[in-house]
Amino acid sequence: MIINDELIPKNQFNKEYIEMFLKESTANIKLDTIITDGYRSYPEIIEGLGAKHQLCTFHIMQNLMTKLNPYINTKKKTHRITNKSK
């Protein structure tokens, strides 16, 4: 369930604003888990709200691919060089 959806100016996007936003948005809701992207301050803020934190599936895959892409690209280059020499 999306509780509150708001565009935040980049210069306001900080730990204090996020904490205030989440507290106000979830004030009358019993929390279990909050799903977010990988912003570093979320786990601490969400723990303070008494909920569990979980990364969304898209961001988990995005983080995984970001780490794997340099390795994959190296292997692709090696494979192309090997195939050209045959």
> Which residue would you say has higher pLDDT here, 52 or 68?
52
CB 37 within 8 A of CB 56: yes
What pLDDT score does 46 carry?
95
Over the stretch 6-64, which tens digit does the pLDDT of each residue have?
888 889 889 999 999 999 999 988 999 998 887 889 999 999 999 999 988 887 788 77
Which of 2-5's residues contact partners 24+ apart within 8 Å by CB, and which partners? 3/29
The pLDDT of residue 69 is above 70:
yes
Structure tokens at 44: 């601490």
What is the model's pLDDT at position 84?
63
Rounded Cα distance, 47 and 33, in Å: 10
Confidence of residue 66 (pLDDT cuts 50, 70, 90): confident
